[in-house]
A and B are shown apart, each in its own frame.
Chain A
Amino acid sequence: MNDVVHSSAGSTGTIHAAGVAIKDLRKSYGSNEVLKGISLNVAPGEVVCLIGPSGSGKSTLLRCVNLLEQPNEGSIHVGGFEATDPDVDIDKMRRKVGMVFQQFNLFPHLDAKRNCSIAQTKVLKRSQAEADAVSMHNLERVGLGHLADRFPDQLSGGQQQRVAIARALSMDPELMLFDEPTSALDPETVGDVLSVMRNLAKEGMTMLVVTHEMGFAREVADRVVFMDGGVVVEEGVAEQVISSPTQPRTKEFLRRVLDPTHIGLEE
């Protein structure tokens, strides 16, 4: 894993990082308002971790950015696209935005290399040879070049997630969204995935990461955003938010996450 990424390793040379600007975003499911006016800016090349209790809306926010969820109000700008414009070319926009899911969502009927190449050939119209080369490059980037012909069910959870990252990178995204990428993993494979993400951050990729890995957030994120109940409660420099939060809800959440054994010892 230690030879995974070095600074120049983008599949077309360098990463063209895009920024994100979210303004007054609202999203409801029926009468249940999940996002209650979120504003968030991510600069090109910045790494922002979204933390917060489950049900706080952080995954929904992430999924709004590439329109897997349709926001009700507010605006999202990604790179040169206004995602919330009704006339936006969704497919064109999504090519710039890589998404990594909690459950990997690899295509089970395709091997690792083909998982990485299929959208290149079908969407970017790259030749199979070029797509294969890009796929191999990115699989090597995540340390899995030697498993390129394995099918997803022949890979461990951590390996599958790294293939999923390579798949997203093969489209030359300008922004990567990670939706709890390590939550479904066995503890011993979490480190490999985080190390791939760390290297990607070093390369200058813009990353928006929903995570419960406080160690990762503290070390890799430029900023941490704490969400609860559909609003941003607190945001700031990662070290500062995690080590010395100012809001009571942030303190309470971090206390629970960083020291789960406190439950029952509170009285």
Chain B
Amino acid sequence: MAMTARQRARVSLYVQAGIFVVAIAALILATDWETIGNSVFNFAKIGPMFPGIFMTGLTNTLIYTFLGFIVGLSGGLLLALMKLSSFPLYRWIATGYIEFFRGIPALLVFIAFGYGVPLAFGVSWNITVIVMISLGMVASAYIAETLRAGLQAVPKGQLEAARSLGMPQWRAMITIVIPQAFKIVLPPLTNEVILLTKDSSLIYVLGLTASQYELTKFGRDGISSLGAGLTPLLVAGAFYLVITIPLSFLARKFESRTARNNR
């Protein structure tokens, strides 16, 4: 009757696995497979999505993400340096910016820069510019915090050694501190790219022309035109995974490399 602690632990694991299996089975049994098959897994009708979703959608998503990342990285670095500045005004500006743009939905930023700013200033921007600015501004808020942590993780002695060799502050930062900080933040930075890839899906609110469609827009259009239910979104989702899963692997690789040495 009496079980040892090890036996009890093993039984407990079996019970947990059993509950999991039962739950999955119940879910499968409760599913209306015919409807699901027509409206979510209806792969027979998605032919027209190709090769557009690949040639245009995937490419545009990658381009938008890349542009947003470049702007976000530059803006983020500037904000991180401002946040670490000894001049209070810079710190306040950076803190205000970061809190604001991290605190509001990215969608609102897209609408603001897609419709609000052009109206307010009477300018008409190219869609690429709008995407670059709005995605970049959101990204810089997140990247700034990541970079700030990285800059602070570089030992103070590094800056002291560089300054002692006669390097001015800016030179010491560029040559010695920032390269080391980037190595430290490479894994979290890769995760920022993943988040950015997904945020780029919000561009659909901007009213794109066909050549500007990215993955999500392809998915949404497919829903209304193909009569395959939600299947086109599933396809679009698969393409996001094609981008994000390799990035995840990359982040993990960077992480283990950083753990091994700090070069």
Tell whether, in the assembled complex, residue A105 and residue B180 are in contact, meaning their CB atoms are under 8 Å apart: no
B262 interface neighbour in A66, A92, A95, A109, Cβ under 8 Å: A109
Tell whether, in the assembled complex, residue B160 and residue A167 are in contact, meaning their CB atoms are under 8 Å apart: no
A119 interface neighbour in B157, B166, B261, Cβ under 8 Å: B166
Tell whether, in the assembled complex, residue A107 and residue B261 are in contact, meaning their CB atoms are under 8 Å apart: no
Q: Which residue of A lies closest to B171 (CB)?
A: A122
Residues of A within 8 A of B155 (CB): 103, 105
Residues of B within 8 A of A107 (CB): 158, 161-162, 176, 180
Task: Give CA–CA (A167, B160) in the complex, Å.
Answer: 14
Given A91-B167, A122-B171, A123-B171: A105 and B160 within 8 A (CB)? Answer: yes
B183 in the interface (beta carbon within 8 A): yes
A223 in the interface (beta carbon within 8 A): no
- Render B73-109 as a binary contact track against A, CB cut-off 8 A, 1 for contact: 0000000000000000000000000000000000000
Task: Give CA–CA (A118, B176) in the complex, Å.
Answer: 9
**Which residues of A, 68-124, contact B by the 8 Å Cβ criterion?**
68, 91-92, 94-95, 97-99, 101, 103, 105-109, 118-119, 122-124
Q: Which residue of A lies closest to B157 (CB)?
A: A105
Tell whether, in the assembled complex, residue B183 and residue A91 are in contact, meaning their CB atoms are under 8 Å apart: no
Tell whether, in the assembled complex, residue B161 and residue A99 are in contact, meaning their CB atoms are under 8 Å apart: yes
Task: Give CA–CA (A97, B163) in the complex, Å.
Answer: 11
Given A107-B158, A109-B179, A122-B171: A94 and B163 within 8 A (CB)? Answer: yes
B209 in the interface (beta carbon within 8 A): no
Residues of B within 8 A of A95 (CB): 165-166
B175 in the interface (beta carbon within 8 A): yes
**Which residues of B, 154-204, contact A by the 8 Å Cβ criterion?**
155, 157-158, 160-168, 171, 175-176, 179-180, 183
B263 in the interface (beta carbon within 8 A): yes
Tell whether, in the assembled complex, residue A101 and residue B263 are in contact, meaning their CB atoms are under 8 Å apart: no
B interface secondary structure, majority = helix
Tell whether, in the assembled complex, residue A103 and residue B157 are in contact, meaning their CB atoms are under 8 Å apart: yes
* Interface hub of A68, A109, A164 (most chain B Cβ within 10 A): A109
Q: Which residue of A lies closest to B168 (CB)?
A: A91
A208 in the interface (beta carbon within 8 A): no
Report the minimum CB–CB distance from B177 to chain A (whole Å).
Answer: 10
Tell whether, in the assembled complex, residue B262 and residue A108 are in contact, meaning their CB atoms are under 8 Å apart: yes
Task: Give CA–CA (A99, B165) in the complex, Å.
Answer: 8
Task: Give CA–CA (A68, B158) in the complex, Å.
Answer: 12
Tell whether, in the assembled complex, residue B158 and residue A105 are in contact, meaning their CB atoms are under 8 Å apart: yes
* Interface hub of A92, A97, A119 (most chain B Cβ within 10 A): A119
Q: Which residue of A lies closest to B176 (CB)?
A: A107
- Render B246-263 as a binary contact track against A, CB cut-off 8 A, 1 for contact: 000000000000000111
Task: Give CA–CA (A17, B204) in the complex, Å.
Answer: 69
Residues of A within 8 A of B168 (CB): 91
Task: Give CA–CA (A153, B260) in the complex, Å.
Answer: 11
Residues of A within 8 A of B179 (CB): 109
- Render A16-38 as a binary contact track against B, CB cut-off 8 A, 1 for contact: 00000000000000000000000
Tell whether, in the assembled complex, residue A99 and residue B164 are in contact, meaning their CB atoms are under 8 Å apart: yes
Q: Which residue of B lies closest to A102 (CB)?
A: B157
Task: Give CA–CA (A108, B154) in the complex, Å.
Answer: 10
Task: Give CA–CA (A66, B161) in the complex, Å.
Answer: 11
Given A122-B175, A123-B171, A153-B262: A94 and B157 within 8 A (CB)? Answer: no
Tell whether, in the assembled complex, residue B180 and residue A101 are in contact, meaning their CB atoms are under 8 Å apart: no
Tell whether, in the assembled complex, residue A101 and residue B157 are in contact, meaning their CB atoms are under 8 Å apart: yes
Q: Which residue of B lies closest to A153 (CB)?
A: B261
**What 18 additional pairs, Cβ within 8 angstroms, besides A119-B162, A122-B171?**
A92-B166, A94-B166, A95-B165, A101-B161, A103-B155, A105-B155, A105-B157, A107-B158, A107-B180, A108-B262, A109-B179, A109-B183, A109-B262, A118-B175, A122-B167, A151-B263, A153-B262, A164-B161
Q: Which 7 A-B pairs have the closest CB atoms?
A: A119-B165, A95-B166, A105-B161, A105-B157, A99-B164, A94-B166, A123-B166
Between-chain CB contacts (< 8 Å), 9 pairs: A99-B164, A101-B157, A105-B157, A107-B162, A151-B261, A153-B262, A153-B263, A167-B165, A171-B166
Binding site for B on A (CB under 8 A): 66, 68, 91-92, 94-95, 97-99, 101, 103, 105-109, 118-119, 122-124, 151, 153, 164, 167-168, 171
